[in-house]
Amino acid sequence: MNTKLFMLGLLMEKNRHPYEVQQLLKNSEMKYYIKITKGSLYYTFEQLEKKGFIEIVDIIRNEQRPERTIY
C-alpha cells in the first residue's frame, strides 16, 4: 500500500499529528505492509502539505515540549 494514501486515509477520519499516525501504524496490522521511519513520516507530511493535499489546522505550543503540528 502506498504510504501517502494510508496517511491521507487516516487524515480523512480526523485531524492528526504525525506522531499519532506513527502510533496508529505501529499498533495496527498495517505495520506489516507499510515500513516508514519517523523522519520519513514527517517528510511525507511536509510533502503532502506543499502539494496542497493537506493543510495545517492547528499548532499546539507547550513550554515543556516541542510544537505539535496538527494536519
Residue type, 68: R
Taking the C-alpha atoms of residue 16 and residue 6, their distance in angstroms, rounded to an integer, is: 13
Q: How confident is the model at residue 35, as a pLDDT?
A: 86
User: Averaged in consecutive runs of 10 residues, what is the pLDDT profile of the chain (71 residues)?
Assistant: 87 95 90 88 95 96 90 95
Q: How confident is the model at residue 50, as a pLDDT?
A: 97
Domain harbouring 18, CATH code: 1.10.10
Q: How confident is the model at residue 66, as a pLDDT?
A: 86
Q: How many CA atoms lie within 13 A of 14 on its CB side?
A: 5
Domain membership of residue 24 as a residue range: 3-70
Taking the C-alpha atoms of residue 61 and residue 23, their distance in angstroms, rounded to an integer, is: 21
Q: How confident is the model at residue 1, as a pLDDT?
A: 56
Taking the C-alpha atoms of residue 17 and residue 6, their distance in angstroms, rounded to an integer, is: 14
Number of domains making up the chain? 1
Taking the C-alpha atoms of residue 11 and residue 16, their distance in angstroms, rounded to an integer, is: 6
